[in-house]
Amino acid sequence: MAQTPVAAPYLHADAVSVSYGATRVLDRVSLTVARGELVALLGSSGCGKTTLLRSIAGFVVPTEGRIVVDGRDITRLPPEARGTAMMFQSYALWPHMNVAANIGYGLRMRGKPRDEIAKRVGEMLRLLQLEGYGERTIGALSGGQKQRVALGRALAVDPSVLLLDEPMSNLDYRVRLELRHELRALQQRVGITAIYVTHDREEALTLADRIAVIDAGRIAQLGTPDEVFHRPVSPFVAGFMGADNAIDVVRSGDAWSWPASAGPGGARARAHFRADRARLAPPGTDGGRGTLAIDGTVGQRVYLGTQYRYRIHAGADDFWVEDAERREEGAPVRALVPPEALLVFPAAA
């Protein structure tokens, strides 16, 4: 599918396929990344996002296609010859080495002089706000500090492309929130080209210049966070980006109506919407011009702190709505969805 244009592509994965026996994990995936850009690969487990990352890193050899970085074909080069650096989900830090030794590990493997290594390690400690931590053992660090050390080790070798494989998945939610903003600010300050694998929608929206949503070994959509969130190109992308409520509707004049059997000869479609874009009202409430009105009953109530999340039963459809008012399970309600909140796709054959 067509991609959002990228100025001066720096990294180009060109029709890359990866197969394990008869199973094709990546199916002719093409991706371009500009110099200094951070692209998030977003998808569920097993979709192929980590395989694409590992293909760029050199740990997986494509069965088809090629990978080019800064005009150099690296498709068949071993990992150490690519000039890339990878930050793993587990961080893979050496427990018997202190912080400074871990950060300088890649430089020592490249045979750099001791004074050059010490200078570069000092730069990384300052950059990552870890000054004074050089002599500490890895076991004495918090999860967030370990993540910074792993990032420092990757950046110390001055890679052409930084590859990050779900580096925050082992951290608690509060720490993840803090480190997302730190990582984004650091990436922009350093100006490094980066590819970030995640299954977390919020993480991708927060960090990325562009997001590639991957489904079954293919890129389902590639665009800016705003494009992918507000203008998904398929029901799959809409659902993955949070619009996972889906009901059958029918065209009624210049609007959509429910149930889908309403109105003679109207075009049928499948409408997606987010739980926080609908509201609940008493049965019979007029939501205004173009508003989709769905009558149902409260099937389940979940308290979120500032509001409630309700599962609504409406005929054969179930969907969720977030609302501030407390309602009892079994109560009749009308869900109202404004027209601008509807993401409408052709009905499945």
DSSP state of 47: S
What CATH number is given for 245-346 in this structure?
2.40.50.140
For Cα atoms 157, 177, 200, give the angle at the middle one, nearest 5 degrees: 85
Q: Under CATH, domain 9-240 is a member of which superfamily? A: P-loop containing nucleotide triphosphate hydrolases (3.40.50.300)
All CATH 3.40.50.300 domain ranges in the chain, comma separated: 9-240
Beta strands in 35-135 (DSSP E): 38-42, 64-69, 72-73, 84-87
All CATH 2.40.50.140 domain ranges in the chain, comma separated: 245-346
Beta strands in the chain (DSSP E): 9-20, 23-34, 38-42, 64-69, 72-73, 84-87, 161-165, 193-198, 210-215, 218-223, 245-252, 255-257, 268-273, 279-281, 292-303, 308-314, 317-323, 332-337, 343-346
Note the pTM of the prediction, 2 decimals: 0.86
Cα(279)–Cα(337) distance, integer angstroms: 7
**Residue 187 pLDDT:** 86
**Residue 69 pLDDT:** 95
**Residue 232 pLDDT:** 97
In tens digits, the chain (349 residues) has pLDDT values of 445 554 568 999 999 999 988 899 999 999 999 999 999 999 998 899 999 999 999 999 999 999 999 999 999 999 988 989 888 877 788 888 899 999 998 888 888 889 999 999 998 898 888 888 888 888 888 888 888 888 888 888 888 999 999 888 777 777 778 778 888 888 888 889 999 999 999 999 999 999 999 999 999 999 999 999 999 999 999 999 999 999 999 988 888 999 877 556 678 899 999 999 999 999 999 988 899 999 999 999 999 999 999 999 998 899 999 999 999 999 999 999 999 999 999 987 5
Task: Give Cβ neighbours of residue 23 (< 8 Å, ≥ 6 apart).
Answer: none
